[in-house]
A = this chain, B = another copy of it.
Amino acid sequence: MTNGLAERLRLIVVTDPECGGRPLMDVVRAALQGGAPAIQLRIKDGDARPMADQARALLAETRRAGALLFINDRVDVALAVGAEGAHVGQSDLAATDVRRISPPGFLIGVSAESAELALAAQADGADYVGVGPVYATGSKADAGPPVGTERIGAIAAAVRIPVVGIGGITVENALPVTRAGAAGVAVISAVMQANDPEAATRALLRR
């Protein structure tokens, strides 16, 4: 499970339009300055054109910083702008479909809250699975009950691909997630809402 990708997934900063009243691009730039190795652009139910414009602007920043850019759900936007990958949930396109329409090396993350779903995602060609919510969270209205760090460990033991814990993760509670076996953590508000997103990113990486 330990390879170059796992290392680059030790922290995924997921964007949120609600980022403390600041321009999203400023917050992402600060996160990259703080060393974030991966960014996920997440916009729910927005139009594809402005999403592609924003993705291209983000990509200029992530490329400069040597970070990965994932696009949530909209695989067409990810392919159009040349992002490194896409993240899909269980109600988004299946990983097999994403693989079929994407170029070699395109990275596919799949949300999987159980070992069964994680194994299915792996069989479908996922490069990593996002598992959560690890803790109780207010960021995702559609999130289920917390799965806890034990489930993270069980899933990490079941699959060969990296597991990324997501949901309610903060600077304070991130360490048990990777201790349990996750390659990394994905955070939304811990960086997006942080007073100092750069410092928050550094602290999350220091764990």
Spell out A's residues near B (CB within 8 Å). 45, 47-50, 52, 73-77, 79-81, 88, 90-94, 97-98, 100-101
Contact = CB atoms under 8 A, between A and B. Distances in A.
Looking at A48, A77, A79, A100, the one whose CB has the most chain B CB atoms below 10 A away is: A48
This chain: how many copies in the complex?
A: 2
Given A74-B76, A100-B80, A101-B79, A94 B49 contact: yes
Contact of A76 (B47, B52, B93): B93
Nearest to A73: B48
A91 B47 contact: yes
Nearest to A88: B48
Nearest to A93: B48
Nearest to A97: B80
A88 to B, nearest CB: 8
A84 to B, nearest CB: 15
A93 B52 CA distance: 7
Contact of A92 (B45, B49, B94, B100): B49
